[in-house]
Amino acid sequence: MSQPPDGPAADRPRPYPGHAAPHTPLRPMWCCRSCGQPWPCSTARLLLRNEYEDNPVSLSIYLCGLLYEATRDLYRLNPAGAPSPTDMFTRFVAWGPYRRPPVSPGEEC
């Protein structure tokens, strides 16, 4: 079975200010190359929100693509100790655009 193609290049957010180290992921560990926190760090989230302010659909697609890339990297790196799918979704996608409020059990969607 062939493997799906690669996701997007992890080249956002752009450096801010322009001469600073960018808060982009250092692969395959997926920590921030500027501050060392798990990517996306709080600065990366702020910069991404700002950068994609007028295009939340693109931000959502970018984050989903990087969720895919990061999951592949982290499971290859440490199959037994990689973060759970729930943790990965929360880390990469849930903070972005189109969040919905949590639904309580038994509550209509």
DSSP-based three-state secondary structure for 25: strand
Compute the C-alpha angle 45/25/60, nearest 5°: 45
Sole binder of Zn ion in the list 29, 43, 68, 73 (CB under 5 A):
43
Residue of 16, 27, 31, 34 that binds Zn ion (CB under 5 A): 34
Instruction: State the minimum distance, in angstroms, from the CB of residue 15 to Zn ion.
Output: 11
Decide: is 32 part of the binding site for Zn ion (CB under 5 A). Answer: yes
Q: In terms of C-beta density within 10 A (0-12 exposed, 13-18 middle, 19 or more buried), how is residue 70 classed? A: buried
The dihedrals phi and psi of 25, each to the nearest 5 degrees, come to -75, 140
Q: How far is CA 88 from the centre of its chain?
A: 8
The site that binds Zn ion (CB under 5 A) totals a number of residues, namely 6
Pick the piece of the chain touching Zn ion (CB under 5 A) from 8-16, 29-37, 45-53, 75-83: 29-37
Q: Judged by CB under 5 A, which of 13, 22, 23, 30 binds Zn ion?
A: 23
Site residues (vs Zn ion, CB under 5 A): 23, 32, 34-35, 41, 43
